[in-house]
Amino acid sequence: MGYINQTDTNIKSHKNFTGIIMKKTALTIALALTLGSCATDSYKKDTSASQTQSVKLSSGVDLQYVDDTIRPQDDFYRYVNGKWLKSYVMPADKSRYGSFNALRDKSEKDVKNIIDQLAGQTFAKDTDEQKISDLYKSYMDEGQIEAAGMAVIDSDLAKIDAIKNYDDLLAYMSYADKYTDSPIGLYVYIDLKDSNSYITYVGQAGLGLPDRDYYFNDDEKFKNIRSKYLNLIENQFKNAEFKNPTKSAQTVMRIETEIAKGHWTNVETRDNEKSYNLKTFEEFKALMPDVNLDAWFAGTDLPKIDKIVVSQPDYMQKLNKLIKNTSIDDWKTYYQWKLIDRVASFLPKKFDDENFKFYGTVLSGTTQQKPRWKRAISTVNGSVGELVGKVYVKSYFPPNAKKRMDDMIENLRAAYGDSIKELDWMSAETKLKALDKLSKFDPKIGYPNKWKDYSNLHISKDSLLDNMRAVANWRLQRNRSRLGKPIDRTEWGMNPQTVNAYYNPTKNEIVFPAGILQAPFFNLSADDAVNYGGIGAVIGHEMGHGFDDQGSKFDGEGNLNSWWTDDDRAKFNKKTAMLIEQYNAYEVLDGKAHVNGELTLGENIGDLSGLTIAYKAFKKAHPDNSKIDGLTADERFFYGWAQIWRGKMRDEALLSQVATNPHSPGEFRGNGPLRNFPPFLKLFNVKEGDKMFLPAEKRVKIW
């Protein structure tokens, strides 16, 4: 499941001990908005935002941040955001900050207001209010956490200690995959080639560093990270009072490095066709003939299965050799580390501090941990988020926002349809199929129509780690129970209070949580120029994921089933190759690192498509180009676009971003699409010699 933007969380947030987190090694779901009804030739007039209404609307542009010392023809992103970029001082507890983060801070405070109202009350056990309140209280009860000490994981350590042979090891591997981490990751999700059924996926996992390349890159920055990671492992073993912490840390690092050798690169794992390897269970077992996969499968909590999608078959073959060539004692050391690493945030302060020192400071550059209440909010959102979301939407999501979004989405759907019809490089045959897919986009706005059922989740205020185990088990059982059932098309992959958006190709849906439907992305008090440049471009971005390099391989029913002619796909690939080349040239950290054009291709296509389609929809729905705050409607559109990408990052976070994240850094998301977009170049009179200029033959127009 792809997102409009990377999150501003501790880089290790995905390791929280909260159960099943869908492992995207087998499945890359692009970020894209999809729409629900047929594409039309006409555009709706958004009367709620009409300039004729009596309420005077603002421009919505943050003019105080415009830096007139920078020419818009040289760097439009810094021209619009320059004063903020120069003056903003990054808080010690943040690794990045910008428009997304400011809105996330607001959402965080809104959720805290909800929880504060609950905290002083007493609720009946197993009510929604009790679960929210007591989970938050258990996180905030540092005294109880200190008093419990390491005893809270004694039973988990005993499971590891009980491993006596390789059959025991394989059985524990499936347990570890469910609750901590393991080299084999398994989950149930929609079958990419049969979107009406769930299927089991298995793929690579088991690393502590963000990506395989962190183990092998010889640059001094990565060598330093590896050294600090080794220190982290050793220090946590010392905190746990284990014997031989130095030797144990070296053992863990050796095993993880060997695991990493078999991992596919993050570019390879984006390829859904390459990752979809449907096998019988017996064929899967044949990839790992030296280990007892029956013992492993017995611990997965799944019924007998006939078929399984193996995301990286050659990885499994390499892991087979690694398992048998590594001693039981060394594997036990590895799993002791995985346990401690996963639960460190829920253990006494010395573990939490050591954890932050590496994941927060070394990998992200932050020098101060977020206040505990913020971490508690994040845990509540990540555990029982839709329970909070029910209250959030009642308090913070006005009904008129949904109506205005509905109109804007349909305007963009129509604009996308017109754009497809006008393409000069696509055949009539493929255009018909593209329009069919567009017509089947299913937009979801604000919050789900059916909420998740948390009735089987039991929370108390007495033990944070017990609560996290309960959440983990609830998620696990929810995931495993899907097999053999109809697809739940009402389910959301984000909470309503989340500031993000996504496209899911297996459901052909575009999803916009209430959290992102606020300024600067969506400003109910502003005229539509800035809104089309903001949330309109986000909508277009999500739609664009349905037609990016990976999303375009899925048909309108959500199946991995190419609907292109070979000639059209070749033309498409030629255009995307030009976009890859453009983004590969973008430098960060004074030229010491570059954007990875292949890794970020899907998001870059989404950005370019989003800008293009949002502008087209805006111009058709609002042909008037009158001025507000001295800016024409066209100018306000582009200002609105540039200001949503406003942001700063610490060097450590930026390094991680270009190494592992499918999103380009904000400045390139702001400027990159504009350099390819003739209406912008004409409006701001960008000419040869200007830094925003691209020769016509190098400009990319896909959709």
Query: For 459-480, what is each residue's pLDDT tens digit?
Result: 999 999 999 999 999 999 999 9
Residue 16 is predicted with a pLDDT of 45
User: In one letter, which amino acid is 69?
Assistant: T
Taking only the tens place, the pLDDT of each residue in 403-422 is 889 999 999 999 999 999 99
Give 593's contacts (C-beta < 8 A, 6+ positions apart): 587, 654, 655, 658, 659
> Percent of the chain beyond pLDDT 70?
92
Predicted pLDDT of residue 23: 40
pLDDT bracket for residue 668 (50, 70, 90): very high
- Whether the CB-CB separation of 508 and 585 falls below 8 Å is answered with no
- The predicted model gives 250-263 an average pLDDT of 98
Comparison of pLDDT for 486 and 19, the residue scoring more: 486
What pLDDT score does 38 carry? 31
pLDDT of residue 6: 60
Contact yes or no for 188/248 (Cβ under 8 A): no
Task: Give the other-Cβ count within 10 Å of 623's Cβ.
Answer: 8
Q: Which helix (DSSP H) or strand (DSSP E) does residue 285 occupy?
A: helix 281-287
Tell me the average pLDDT across 122-131: 96
For residue 289, cis peptide bond before it (omega within 30 degrees of 0)? no
Q: Which of 430, 456, 671 is nearest to 565 (CA)?
A: 430
The counts of H helices and E strands in the chain are 27, 11
The structure tokens 């292949």 sit at: 598
- Over the stretch 565-583, which tens digit does the pLDDT of each residue have? 999 999 999 999 999 999 9
pLDDT digits (tens, 9 = 90+) for 166-222: 999 999 999 999 999 999 999 999 999 999 999 999 999 999 999 999 999 999 999
pLDDT of residue 32: 33
pLDDT band for 52, please (50, 70, 90 cuts): very low
**Interval 655-662 mean pLDDT:** 94
List all residues 6 or more positions away from 157 whose beta carbon is below 8 Å from its beta carbon.
Answer: 336, 339
Query: Which domains are assigned to the chain?
Result: 31-43+60-111+387-452+491-698 (3.40.390.10), 146-363 (1.10.1380.10)
**Residue 102 has what pLDDT?**
93
The confidence score (pLDDT) of residue 20 equals: 33
CB 476 within 8 A of CB 470: no
Average pLDDT across the chain, whole number: 92
Q: Do residues 98 and 65 lie in contact, with contact meaning Cβ atoms separated by under 8 Å?
A: no
Looking at the predicted structure, is the pLDDT value of residue 612 above 70? yes
Average pLDDT over residues 414-434: 97
CB neighbours of 604 closer than 8 A, spacing ≥ 6?
579, 583, 597, 664, 669, 672, 673
Q: Tell me if 472 sits within 8 A of 18, measured CB to CB.
A: yes
Q: How many CB atoms lie within 10 A of CB 18?
A: 21
Positive or negative CA dihedral for 95, 96, 102, 106? negative
Q: Report pLDDT for 5.
A: 74
Query: pTM of the full predicted structure?
Result: 0.91
- Single out the residue of 646, 670, 652 nearest to residue 101, CA to CA: 646
Tokens encoding 337: 């580390």
CA pair distance 557, 220, nearest whole angstrom = 47
For the cut 70, the answer to whether the pLDDT of residue 227 exceeds it is yes
Nearest to 16 by CA among 383, 462, 358: 383
User: What does the pLDDT read at residue 399?
Assistant: 85
Task: Give the C-alpha separation, 614 to 527, whole Å.
Answer: 15
- Classified as helix, coil or strand, 311 is coil
Instruction: Say if residue 33 is exposed, middle or buried (CB neighbours under 10 Å; 0-12, 13-18, 19+).
Output: buried
Tell me the mean pLDDT in the region 87-105. 95
**For 41-45, 68-72, 97-101, 389-393, which range has the lowest pLDDT when averaged over its residues?**
41-45
The number of C-alpha atoms within 13 Å of 411 and in the hemisphere containing its C-beta is 28
- Report whether pLDDT(22) > 90: no
- Shortest CA distance to 509 belongs to which of 195, 200, 268? 195
CA distance linking residue 485 with residue 198, whole number of Å: 7
Task: Give the integer Cα–Cα distance in Å for 310 and 373.
Answer: 40
- Closest-CA residue to 417 (of 437, 392, 401, 402): 437
- pLDDT of res. 400: 87
119 — pLDDT class (breaks 50, 70, 90): confident
